[in-house]
Amino acid sequence: MYPHPDFVSLSIGKAGIKVLANTLHQALQDSPIKVGTVTICGTVNSGDPKYASDRIAEEYWNLHTNDNASYEVIY
């Protein structure tokens, strides 16, 4: 989401995953197969409720059970 010069190799991989998920989501949107990503821009269980593992798990569940209108959740 926010590329940084110190993490170029990590950013390239994440960008590739995002493009792949978007492409597959569009190609498969009329099928029962769902493709999506959850991007967490913080440290899980760091004390910030936004990054609590239970809340993140809920987002994965919501992505799985929604009507396939969205392929991406960003924290």
Under DSSP, the state recorded for 75 is: -
Is the pTM here over 0.75, yes or no? no
Report yes or no: 28 and 35 within 8 Å, Cβ to Cβ.
yes
Reported as a single tens digit per residue, the pLDDT across 45-73 is 999 998 999 999 998 888 888 775 666 66
CB 68, CB 34: distance < 8 Å: yes
Residue 23 has pLDDT above 60, yes or no: yes
Predicted local confidence at residue 1, as pLDDT: 67
Q: What percentage of the chain carries pLDDT values higher than 90?
A: 23
For residue 51, which amino acid is it?
Y
| Token pair 């029962």: residue | 32
